[in-house]
Amino acid sequence: MSELILVVNAGSSSLKFHMYAVVEDDRLAFQYGGQVSGIGGAMPAFKVDDEHGRPMERQSLEAGQARDLHSAQAMVADWLLARLDREPIAVGHRIVHGGPRYDRSVALTPEVLDYLDSLSPLAPLHQQNNLAPVRVIFERWPEIFQVACLDTAFHQGQAPQVRHFALPERFYRQGVRRYGFHGLSYHYISEHLRSHWPELARGRVLVAHLGSGASACALKEGRSVETTMGFTALDGLPMGTRPGRLDAGVVLWMMEQGMDHDAIQSLLYTESGLKGLSGISADMRVLQDSDDPRARLAVEYFCYRAAESLAGLCVSLQGLDTLVFTAGIGEHSAPVRARIAQHLAWLGVEVDEARNQAGEAVISTDASPVRVMVIPTNEERIIAEQSLALVRSAPVQ
């Protein structure tokens, strides 16, 4: 009977889970995955698909059934308990912020949980939600081995000039530094290239993780050498509701106008980005379908700033061999990919229109000096792999 690894990815309005079986030679076989979406909204939903993408469960929920993350967790737990004949050997969690302490995944203990909880102000939209399922499992199944898989860990080896801000050194010693995020996604892309295109993996690679949260990363020999996000997940590229790079003087001005910490935090995390610029929506699909000039401005702003940041990352690589698009917008929006490529044409980025529209794995022209690719990310598989590695190396109790 196969051992099982459960992966949990808890966000602000959704709870995702994947189940993997450990098969021969400790390979992982995806079994099924699901999510509760629309948590706290008027029309939450619960769905589960098997390894072939076929529906196993489809439920439209009453608002009270997923009124908050806790009730969504209870629903997922009940669904799993009704189907499992054995406990998973490990539960892996995506945790956004690992701070300066961790450069790899770590087994969760009460002490580790307390440390990760202390980092919540650096990721107010994510950290508490990421940690909520950990607490529930500790309470209900304290013997299960749990793992924190950290989005910041992949970037920990970057050079000092990349990690520092131009602030007095005492702030760096207190943890004020550039961490970078989306590391699990970048780790997956790095491993995927190494497995399928090893000659590309050895070269100079830019990865654009474009979704409701967006960032970009420069990979050299498969390792992160520079990324656009910094101390928090506010920095870098514009996002669905976050502004990306912003003159710090704007925040000082807001304070002078009488805005307090909570008002500024809410503005920067939930009211800005595509949503704030367009005044219409944070959803790129809605904006692309709109004729409103504000929507067109938001889309063009997103593409221009993404291209500007990608070009800047080339300094760390001293050139560019491969550009990879991933995550929701990167994987599914051909117009966004085309527009960003147009801004980068001077770098040798040439996209084939037909390949781009079809969403092929390679969308560059045959003559393009830069290979342009679309690779679906899979953070959950990286979490499962890291969780299995840690449970295998854990001391026998």
Residue 345 predicted with pLDDT over 60: yes
How does the average pLDDT of the chain come out, rounded? 93
Write down the pLDDT at residue 179.
95
Other beta carbons within 10 angstroms of residue 210's beta carbon come to: 27
Spatial distance between the Cα atoms of 239 and 269, rounded to a whole number of angstroms: 10
Residues 151, 235, 289, 291: which is the catalytic one? Answer: 151
What is the pLDDT, as a whole number, of residue 133?
A: 87
Per CATH, the number for 199-374 is: 3.30.420.40
Mean pLDDT of 233-261: 96
Task: Answer yes or no: is pLDDT of 397 > 70.
Answer: no
Q: What are phi and psi of 360, to 5 degrees?
A: -70, 165
Domain ranges of the chain: 3-157, 199-374
> Dihedral sign, CA of 111, 116, 119, 124?
negative
Mean pLDDT of 277-285: 94
Phi, psi for residue 100 in degrees, rounded to 5:
-80, -10
The pTM of this model reads 0.92
pLDDT number for residue 396: 58
What value does the mean pLDDT take over residues 330-351? 97
Task: State the pLDDT at residue 334.
Answer: 97
Cα–Cα distance for residue pair 397/389, rounded to 1 Å: 17
The pLDDT score that the predictor gives to residue 217 is 98
| pLDDT for res 329 | 95
Which CATH number among 3.90.700.10, 3.30.420.40, 3.40.50.10090, 3.60.110.10 corresponds to the domain 3-157?
Answer: 3.30.420.40
pLDDT band at 307 (very low <50, low <70, confident <90, very high): very high
Give the pLDDT of residue 176. Answer: 94
Q: Reply yes or no on whether 151 is catalytic.
A: yes
| pLDDT tens digits along 110-168 | 999 999 999 998 888 789 889 988 988 888 888 899 999 999 999 999 999 999 999 99
Do the domains 199-374 and 3-157 match in fold?
A: yes
- Alpha-carbon gap, residue 37 to 60, rounded angstroms: 10
For range 80-88, the mean pLDDT = 87
Per-residue pLDDT reduced to its tens digit, 200-216: 999 999 999 999 899 99
Task: Single out the residue of 68, 164, 177 nearest to residue 122, CA to CA.
Answer: 177
Mean of pLDDT values over 59-64? 79
pLDDT score recorded for residue 32: 93
List of residues 6+ apart from 349 with CB closer than 8 A = 320, 323, 341, 364, 368, 370, 372
Structure confidence at residue 281 as a pLDDT band (50, 70, 90): very high
